[in-house]
Structure 1
Amino acid sequence: MTTSMPSPSPRTKPAEVRLDELMNAAETLFLENGFDATTIAHITRAANVAKGTFYHYFASKNDILAALTARYTQQYVDQLETAVNACAEHDWPTRLRVWIETSVLTYAQSFRTHDMVYGGHHHHERDNAEKNAILTQLEHILQQGAQDKAWYCPNPAIVALLLYSGVHGATDALIAEPEQDHQRYARELADTCLRLLPLP
């Protein structure tokens, strides 16, 4: 009786694995040493790949930073969406509360990466896809809640902007005082935001 030998592992990693390794190496180095002090050679050495592999995926160091920005935002939006979708479908006050609390806790936990990927953004760059993706999510909750008469909100787009900016700024204040109870702070902030939305 003959037994078949297991096929050898592929010597070349799948493209998506190689890409993740490059991005993870770059993120770690940017956080540890700063963007300017990190070179492409540092990144390829940490990812254990040749420079040619880097240029297969990215044209420059700025290019990989842009990819890290997109990845961070997508992960952020996905966390918010997963948390909100776990709520009852038409319970808009709870869905808004969960969106705010998850936003606070996610940002407070990942602020170093946030600051790294958004470090080059300036106030004059007010219209960007990353912020718009989060605003769209929040605006949808406000709009649907208004339609179901959970609150009075004739202009969900403006209220979304106010809540987004307020929650972001309030979380910056939390980050500056890390000894605070993050869970309690997030709940109290959500309470405050919900009180700003009048009943219809």
Structure 2
Amino acid sequence: MEVKIGVKAARKRLAPEDRREAILNAAQALFMERGWDTVTIADVLEAAGISKGGFYHHFTAKADLLTGIVVRMTQQVIILAETACRDASGDALAKLNAFIAGSVRWKVENTAEMRFFTDVLAKPGNDILYRRIFEATAGAVVPVLEDLVAEGITDGTFDVADARLTAEVIVGLSHGRRQVLEDAVAIAASGDLDRAARYLDHRMQAEGTICDRLLGLPQGSVLLSSPKDHRRMLVGLTPSNNANEQADAPPQGSMT
């Protein structure tokens, strides 16, 4: 959504949900254009054409805007991933892998949004903000994953004791990716995109192996490893010409 900065939008009467969306649209556009630190609540109100009272009806602080944007993006990811899941043929494992592939595809196709969050969370002192974002994301993803695990228990594909707990543990694995992703972006920015992609994919392979064991599956069943997609994602996440120049080059080597 394009937001005209510095020009006060005309205020109009909106339904509560439409008003909330207008605030989030304005905030997202401003954050991505100016950066998280420089944008104020007053800037968002002006861009959205919303009164202070209208804002505080939905949000209590600037951090709430970021959480709202994350939840909305996560819902977009889930919609795409669930569509891929429904289109998949086979058992619960096939559907789970389709869900994962759909999620990865969204991230590859929306690297501008991903880069914004990576930049915000990489700054010192943003640990509390990161925790809020993780909890918001987990709150949206865990119920969907729980349903997939429950289906796998029913059809005999998965061997687990509790679908909800298993879903929570699987989603919890992503909590530790923050530093790995930051390191991978730094490696790519230094000019070694291939090593960065292998580094990130190595982490995802390890998470996949853990998921296999959690679900009672043979190793290599859960497909979290996607070297080509991780390489493309890192190109979009890296604010460096070095990475962009390597984007079309064939990957070299592999991690042993």
TM bin, normalised by shorter chain, reads 0.5 to 0.7
Shift of 1:167: 10
Residue aligning to 1:43: 44
1:138 matched to 2:145: yes
Residues 102-181 of structure 1: matches in 2 within 5 Å? 102-108=102-108, 109=110, 110-112=113-115, 114-115=117-118, 120-121=127-128, 128-154=135-161, 156=163, 157-158=165-166, 161-162=169-170, 165=173, 169=177, 172=181, 176=185
Q: Unmatched 5+ residue regions in structure 1?
A: 1-10
1:12 aligns with 12
Give the 3 Å change call, closer, same or farther, for CA 127–120 of structure 1 in structure 2.
Answer: closer
Unaligned runs of 5+ in 2: 1-10, 220-256
Residues 93 and 145 of structure 1 are in contact (CA less than 8 Å); yes or no, is this contact kept in structure 2?
A: yes
Write the mapping of 1:48-127 to structure 2, written as runs, cut at 5 A.
48-88=49-89, 91-108=91-108, 109=110, 110-112=113-115, 114-115=117-118, 120-121=127-128
Q: Which has the higher contact order (CA 8 A, sep 6+)?
A: 1
Structure 2 distance, partners of 1:147, 1:198, is: 18
Specify the structure having the higher radius of gyration (Cα): 1
Task: Tell me the amino acid that sits aligned with residue 138 of structure 2.
Answer: K
AA of the residue aligned to 2:59: F
Amino acid of the structure 2 residue aligned with 1:27: Q
Give the counterpart letter for 2:83 in structure 1: T
Query: Deviation at 1:28?
Result: 1.6
Comparing 160-169 with 32-41, which one deviates more in the overlay? 160-169
Match of 1:198 in 2: 218
CA deviation map 1:129-164 (0-9, x unaligned): 531431332233233213312244455534762476
Identity of aligned residues (%): 27
Residues in 2 aligned to 1:59 and 1:163: alpha-carbon distance in whole angstroms: 27
Superposition TM-score, scaled by structure 2 size: 0.52
User: Structure 2 vs 1, CA of residues 99 and 172 (structure 1 numbering), >3 Å: closer, same or farther?
Assistant: farther
Q: Distance in 2 between matches of 1:163 and 1:39?
A: 32
Cα RMSD of the aligned pairs, angstroms, is 4.3
Aligned length, in residue pairs: 182
